[in-house]
């Protein structure tokens, strides 16, 4: 069983996620993250199609345009 510095207190979801992320980062390199990103992108494209990317691209462009306008 892993050491828990909280003296037998339960670990929060936030703490568990942080520790898991840190462990993953120590055990994997840049190529690992590139590969899982590519696989995630491919899965999203298969599930949602071209229209999904057009829609989110338009939303991002609109948000950026509003941001620029508010800075002028």
Q: Specify the number of domains making up the chain.
A: 1
In tens, the pLDDT along 19-58 reads 999 999 999 999 999 999 999 999 999 999 989 999 999 9
- The answer as to whether 4 is a domain residue is no
Alpha-carbon distance of 62 to 68, in angstroms, equals 10
Task: Tell me what pLDDT residue 1 has.
Answer: 44
The answer as to whether 29 is a domain residue is: yes
Evaluate if residue 5 carries a pLDDT over 70: no
What is the span of the domain harbouring residue 39?
13-70
The model's pTM: 0.55
Does residue 68 register a pLDDT over 60?
A: yes
Q: Decide if 58 is inside a domain.
A: yes
Distance of CA 14 to CAs 2, 19, 29, Å? 17, 9, 23
Q: What pLDDT does residue 54 have? A: 93
b/e for 14-45, b at 16 or more Cβ within 10 A?
A: eeeeeeeeeeeeeeeeeeeeeeeeeeeeeeee
7 within some domain: no
């Amino acid at each position: 069983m892993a050491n828990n510095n909280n003296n037998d207190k339960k670990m929060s979801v936030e703490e568990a996620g942080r520790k898991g992320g840190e462990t993953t980062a120590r055990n994997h390199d840049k190529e690992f993250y590139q590969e899982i990103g590519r696989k995630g992108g491919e899965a999203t494209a298969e599930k949602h199609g071209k229209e999904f990317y057009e829609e989110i691209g338009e939303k991002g462009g609109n948000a950026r345009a509003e941001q620029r306008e508010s800075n002028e």
